[in-house]
Amino acid sequence: MDEELRQSSELVAHLVQDVLGELEPLESSEVDEGDFVFVDASMLGVEEGNVVFSEAKRSVSWAGAMLLNSMSKLLDFPGVSPLVMTREATLVTSEGIMLKMTHFFLRGTEDTTGPVVFMRTPYYRRMFLSICSRFAVEGYHVVLQQCRKRFTGTDLKEFPIEGEDRDGFETLQWIEKQSFCNGKIGMFGPSYLGLVQFSLIPLVQKHGFSALKAIVPLNTTTNIFSLIFPGGSLHFDLLIIWLYIMLRIQISSISSLKKLRRVAGTSSKVSQAFSSLPLRSLDERIFRTKVSFVQEVFLHNSDASDPFWNSGRLSGKLCSISDCPPISFLSGWYDCFFRAALQDIEDLTTSHSCYRLIVGPWTHWDLSQFSTGIEEALSFFKVHLKGQDEGLSPRVRVFVMGLEKWVALDSFPSSKTFVKSVFFSESLSLSDEIAEFDVQWKEYSYDPSHPTPAVGGASFNLQNCGKLRQNSFERRKDVLVFTSSPLKEDLCVLGPIKAQLFVWSSSATADFVVRLCDVYPDGSSFILCDGLTNIKKGFSLEEIEIDRDGKKCRLQPCFLSVDVSATGNLFKKGHRIRVHVASAAHPRWYRNLNVPEGVHPFDASLEHLSSSSQLLFMGSKFPSCVFLSMIQLDDLEIS
C-alpha cells in the first residue's frame, strides 16, 4: 500500500471513530457486497476450556459500513475482497470464567493461517472496532477479548488486574491452537490494556510459551505500587476516577472512547469526593458500598515491601521488563502512568536486547496517540510477526516540545546528555551558582483544609491535565516560585529531572512538591513536569540556629531527594526557567492532612486537620537545587 493510500485510510478510520462515538448500530439491516459486517449471534453449548464460534446473523453497523465502503475504494488487496469480517466466541477458562471475544479477519481468510494480534479490554469491545479493523486490513487476524467483569453487584471484592494473568495466558494458549494462527502472536493496547500484557509475562516465562513474539503497550507500567503511591502519596484522582468509570461501565452503555472520555470529565460525584472526609468511607459515598480494593490500598500504603503487594491478588510489580518478548513501549510526557513507567524505561534501555521506545507530548486521554501507536505496532509486528525487514529504525524517538519535532536518541536518557544544576536563592531567583551566604531560607504555610491544588500536568483528570498555564496558581501564598533570568540562547532539557531540597516542617508528615515550568516572553507559565516526596523519606541533619520572626530558634533540617519525572522541552531564547516548591497537588495526589499522632490519615475528619509551617533552606550549606538533564542542540537527530 503506498503512502497516499495509507494516509487516506487513516483519515477515514479517524472520521468513523468519531461517528462510532455518536451513533448506535442499525438493527437487522441487509448486507450488501462491500459492507462491513458486525456479526451478532447467540452462543451454542460452550464447555470449559473450549470455544464455540457463533453462527453469524446478517446485521450491520451503519458507521462500520461507511468505514469499509470508503476504505474499499482506497485499498487494493489482490485476490481478496477488502472486507473486515467478525465472528463472536466465548472462552470458558479453567476457573469457569466466561470471556467473550471477537475475531476480526478479511473476508475469505477466517481459516487462512497467519499472525494474530491479541487485545484484552475491561471496557466495551465496541470502543476498539476501528483499531482492530486497522490491523485486520493489514492481513492480521485480530482477537479482541472482554476481560472478566469487576465491581458488579453489592459486594465489590474484586481487585484490578486480579486473574488477568491466568485469563490472558489461557487465551494465548487457545489462540496458538487455532487453525488461523501460524504460531506468531503479538499484543497491543493502552492503559489497562497494557497492564494485562505485562501481567501474563511471568506465566509466559514459567511455561516456556514461545508463540508470544512481541508486545506493544501504550501509556502503562509494570510498577503498580509506584503508580498508586508516587512519592509515597496516594494517586488520588487516578484511583477514584478509574473506579468510577468501571462502575459506570457496569450500569450504562459507554460504547466509545469519546463517551468514556466524557464520563471521566463530568462526574459531580467524583468532584465531591475529592474534598470529602473521612477518606476511609469514600468508597461508600461514591459507590454506596464498601470496595475491598480501596480499603486494602488504604490499609497497606506503607511501602512496596508490604506482603500485601505480593499476595497474588495485587502485585506491586507485574513483571520484569527483561523477561518480555520484543517490546515497543509508548508513553507521554503528560501521561499519569509516565512517572511510574520511568523505571520500566530505564530497565528497557539497560537490560532488554530488542526494544523500541516512543515518548510523545500526550496526556493519558489524548486520542492522537492511537495513530502513532497503531503505526508503530504495524511497523513492529511487520518485523516480529511477519518476518519482514523494515530496515534500521531508531530505538528511541521522543517529541521535544518547543522544538515541536521528533528526535532519535541512542537511549533514554541519551548518552550525550549532561546534568545542569540550577540553585534556589532567597530572592526567588534561579542561578547556575550557589548563593554566597551559608544559610538562607524561605517560609510558607500549608493548610490542608485549603490544599494547594494541582493545575495540569500528568493527571488522570481529563479536565485538568496537560500543558496548562500556571500563572493564577503561582499567585498563591502557599507556593514558592523561583524564576531564572531570560535565557540568552536556546536550551534543551531532555531526560529525567531531579531535585534536592533542604527543608524543615512543623509537621512530621509533610509532603514537598517540585514542579518545572517554561515561562514565555509574555509571562505565560506552562507546566512541564513535577514530582513529590514525603519528609519521612528524608535524612535528618544536624540542628542549626536561625533568627525566625525576630526570635532565635533551633531547627533540624531534613535532606530530601525528589523525582520530578522527566520531560523533553526546548527553552527558547528569551524564555525563563521556573520551579515551584509547594506541599500539595490536590486532588491529583492526596493532600497531606497533618493529622496528630494516633489518628490514621484515612480516618481523619475536619477537626483533625492543622496547618503547618514549611521552610526551604538555601545557600552554600544547604544547596537546594534542581538537576536538569540537558543536551546540545547539535546533538539532536531530527527523526
103-124 pLDDT per residue, tens: 999 988 888 999 999 999 988 8
Closest CA to 454 of 527, 533, 361: 527
424 and 386 in a single domain? The answer is: no
Question: Is 521's pLDDT higher than 80?
Answer: yes
Its domain, for residue 10, covers 3-393
pLDDT at position 138 is 93
pLDDT tens-digit profile of 460-472?
Answer: 998 899 999 999 9
Q: From 635, 214, 182, select the one nearest 390 (Cα to Cα).
A: 214
Q: Which helix (H) or strand (E) holds 12?
A: helix 3-20
Residue 312's closest CA among 197, 466, 199?
199
116-125 core/surface letters (b: 16 or more CB in 10 A; e: else): bbbbbbbbbb
The whole-angstrom separation of Cα 256 and Cα 265 is 15
Report the pLDDT value the prediction gives residue 285, as an integer from 0 to 100. Answer: 81
pLDDT of 298 higher than 90: no
What CATH number did the domain enclosing 275 receive? 3.40.50.1820
- For residue 253, pLDDT over 70 is answered with no
Q: Could you tell me if 350 and 468 lie in one domain?
A: no
Give the span between the Cα atoms of 585 and 605, in whole angstroms. Answer: 20
Residues 6+ apart with CB under 8 A from 82: 68, 71, 72, 75, 76, 106, 137
Q: Is 208 helix (H, G, I), strand (E, B) or coil?
A: coil
Task: Tell me, yes or no, whether 402 lies in a domain.
Answer: no
475/357 same-domain check: no
Same domain, 125 and 217: yes
Are residues 232 and 275 part of one domain? yes
**Do 386 and 426 fall into the same domain?**
no
Is pLDDT of 52 > 70?
A: no
Averaged pLDDT score across all residues of the chain: 84
Top pLDDT among 39 and 281 is at 281
Across the range 318-333, mean pLDDT stands at 96
Amino acid 247: pLDDT: 73
Going from the C-alpha of 612 to that of each of 172, 427, 446, 508, 511, the distances in angstroms are 54, 23, 5, 10, 11
Q: Are 365 and 462 in contact (CB under 8 A)?
A: yes
* Domain limit, last residue, from 393, 409, 433: 393
431 lies in some domain:
yes
> Is 406 within the bounds of a domain?
no
126-154 as b/e: b if 16+ CB within 10 A: bbbbbbbbbbbbbbbbbbbbbbbebbeee
Start-to-end CA span in the chain (Å): 22
Strands of 300-369, DSSP E: 327-334, 355-363
Of the candidates 215, 120, 130, the one whose C-alpha atom is nearest the C-alpha of residue 174 is 120
Last residue of a domain, one of 393, 409, 441: 393
Query: What contacts 427, CB < 8 A, 6 or more positions away?
Result: none
Same domain, 80 and 177: yes
The confidence score (pLDDT) of residue 464 equals 92
Residues 6+ apart with CB under 8 A from 621: 438, 439
Contacts of 353 (CB under 8 A, 6+ apart): none
Q: What is the mean pLDDT of residues 287-314?
A: 78
How far, in Å, CA of 562 to CA of 497, rounded? 9
Amino acid code (one letter) for 362: W
**All residues at 6 or more sequence positions from 111 whose CB lies less than 8 Å from its CB, including other chains:** 179, 180
Task: Tell me: do 376 and 462 sit in the same domain.
Answer: no
Structural domain includes residue 403: no
Is 201 part of any domain? Answer: yes
Beta bridge partners of 115: none
20 touches 129 (CB < 8 A): yes
**C-alpha closest to that of 582 among 474, 438, 491, 502:** 474
pLDDT recorded at residue 119: 98
What pLDDT sits at residue 597? 84
Say whether both 389 and 425 belong to one domain.
no
10: three-class secondary structure by DSSP:
helix
User: Same structural domain for residues 388 and 423?
Assistant: no
Paired residues of 502 in beta bridges: 559, 617
- Per the CB < 8 A criterion, the answer to whether 469 and 524 are in contact is yes
In a domain, 399, yes or no: no
- 66 in a structural domain: yes
**411 domain residue, yes or no:** no
Query: Of 393, 427, 451, which one is at a domain's C-terminal end?
Result: 393
Query: 490 and 384: one domain?
Result: no
Side-by-side strand order, sheet with 141-146: 84-92, 98-106, 141-146, 114-121, 181-190, 212-218, 327-334, 355-363, 396-400, 405-409, 637-638
Q: Is the peptide bond before 307 cis (omega within 30 degrees of 0)?
A: no
Q: What is the CATH number of the domain that holds 512?
A: 2.60.120.260
Structural domains of the chain, count: 2
pTM score, two decimals? 0.86
Residue 386 sits in the same domain as residue 429: no
Say what the pLDDT of residue 161 is.
87
